[in-house]
């Protein structure tokens, strides 16, 4: 925990939580994830998304909860497969629904931060090669242009793609997400195509969204979400661990953000065909640096699983190390691009809400310290507002500020202690020293 008094967060700081459409809306059969999760053995707990949180019908009450907890922003995604279920065919009812969603956000004084691709593809995209097919770049830019024109009067903050590195390696290298491949060369191609799509969508959104929805003088602020993980060699004295760590850090943490700054895609890992590409539209294509941060990996060479957790580390329910001070390091690193930083995701999978309260307060204390040192951080979006369907983990990963009882058809929401702590911090726009003492009391779960 940082020592000494902590400053207030900047005026206008964005406080909120995040969701993604497929994980919370429920009953969408139009994308590749619905098909994938119904294949035996794909989901760790054997579940399917099903009704999820029924957020498709209950968004207004969920936004009311967030507003009552002093949130002033909310990150969500537009489900491409609902809006464009067939190429060039747009669903008027789905479009009207998302206008209703934005109207609800406005009523509850929640600034929308809108993601256009959060891991899901329409089946008509996926069945023609998905992100391995360069034609998907064109189709995604067309979708971004449509969204900018259709929703630009309600949205100023855009996130083009979520975690292009995670999408690529989970689906095409590790094979645990659709399409379930194990081909590192294909994974690098998918990552490159996602990055190029971001660069082109960046310009498409600036051209299509000409309405300043929030009156700050800018009609569109466009970025993407980068998964940032702390990587350290497990044995700093062992050269292979150091080399493996440096290689992973270059591919996962440096190359992706660097491409959106320089316009040069340069991806390579041993045993795979690298990708080098110059994309003019990708150069300087971040109005902000969007960071998703969860954990630290200790990297070990020559191991079946190259990622380990330190002995005695506090773990979340998915076995990831809870590492609050990591957020300070990742935002300092992101600041090198000279753009404002926004934490688009950060949280702890904790079904009982025992570890999360202390981790949340400590994380925000470290974030405050980074801001005090001069890092321009504009907002923090907690993952997630609600327990939800966590992709290949199914319903095992409970990240919600509000617990959801998925065994009950009514899907009741239960407010957690973490939600209360987060509300107190957001309301004060600061961390009260008494709150620090409260979560570090001897005997408090760590």
Three-class DSSP labels, 430-443: CCCHHHHHHHCCCC
* Cα angle: 18, vertex 19, 21; to 5 degrees: 150
Q: Cis omega before residue 392 (within 30°)? A: no
Look-up of token digits 């994830």: 33
* Cα 102 to chain centroid, rounded: 20
3-state helix, strand, coil in the chain (%, to 5): 40, 15, 40
Output DSSP code: residue 276.
E
* Catalytic residue list contains 150: no
Distance CA 167, CA 136 (A): 15
* Cα angle: 395, vertex 401, 407; to 5 degrees: 35
* Cα angle: 405, vertex 410, 414; to 5 degrees: 40
Catalytic residue among 163, 248, 328, 345: 163
Choose among 360, 249, 349: nearest CA to 297: 249
Look-up of token digits 């809400």: 353
Q: Beta strands of 260-322 (E only): which ranges?
A: 264-267, 275-278, 289-292, 296-299, 307-308
Distance CA 81, CA 178 (A): 15
Catalytic residues: 163
């Amino acid at each position: 925990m940082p020592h000494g008094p902590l400053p207030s967060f900047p005026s206008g700081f964005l406080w909120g939580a995040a969701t993604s459409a497929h994980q919370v809306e429920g009953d969408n059969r139009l994308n590749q994830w619905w098909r994938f999760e119904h294949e035996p053995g794909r989901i760790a707990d054997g579940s399917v998304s099903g009704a999820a949180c029924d957020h498709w019908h209950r968004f207004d009450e969920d936004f009311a909860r967030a507003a009552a907890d002093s949130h002033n922003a909310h990150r969500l995604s537009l489900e491409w497969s609902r809006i464009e279920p067939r190429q060039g065919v747009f669903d008027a009812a789905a479009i009207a629904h998302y206008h209703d969603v934005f109207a609800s956000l406005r009523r509850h004084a929640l600034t929308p931060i809108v993601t256009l691709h959060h891991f899901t593809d329409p089946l008509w995209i996926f069945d023609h090669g998905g992100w391995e097919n360069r034609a998907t770049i064109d189709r995604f830019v067309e979708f971004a242009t449509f969204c900018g024109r259709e929703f630009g009067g309600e949205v100023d903050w855009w996130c083009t793609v979520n975690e292009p590195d995670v999408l690529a390696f989970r689906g095409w290298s590790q094979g645990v997400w659709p399409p379930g491949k194990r081909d590192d060369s294909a994974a690098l191609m998918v990552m490159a195509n996602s990055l190029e799509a971001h660069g082109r969508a960046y310009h498409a959104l600036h051209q299509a969204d000409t309405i300043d929805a929030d009156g700050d003088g800018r009609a569109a602020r466009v970025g993407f979400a980068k998964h940032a993980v702390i990587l350290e060699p497990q044995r700093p004295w062992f050269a292979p661990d150091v080399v493996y760590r440096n290689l992973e850090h270059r591919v996962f943490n440096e190359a992706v953000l660097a491409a959106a700054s320089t316009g040069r895609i340069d991806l390579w890992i041993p045993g795979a065909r690298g990708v080098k590409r110059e994309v003019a539209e990708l150069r300087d294509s971040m109005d902000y640096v969007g960071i998703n941060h969860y954990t630290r990996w200790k990297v070990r060479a020559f191991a079946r699983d190259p990622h380990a957790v330190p002995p005695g580390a506090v773990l979340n329910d998915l076995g990831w190390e809870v590492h609050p001070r990591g957020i300070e390091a990742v935002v300092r690193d992101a600041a090198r691009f000279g753009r404002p930083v926004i934490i688009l995701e950060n949280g702890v999978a904790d079904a009982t809400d025992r570890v999360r309260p202390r981790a949340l307060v400590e994380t925000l204390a470290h974030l405050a310290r980074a801001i005090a040192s001069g890092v321009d951080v504009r907002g923090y979006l907690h993952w997630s507002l609600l327990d939800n369907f966590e992709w290949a983990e199914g319903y095992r990963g409970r990240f919600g500020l509000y617990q959801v009882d998925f065994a009950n058809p009514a899907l009741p929401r239960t407010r957690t202690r973490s939600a209360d702590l987060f509300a107190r911090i957001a309301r004060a726009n600061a961390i009260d020293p008494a709150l620090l003492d409260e979560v570090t009391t001897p005997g408090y779960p760590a």
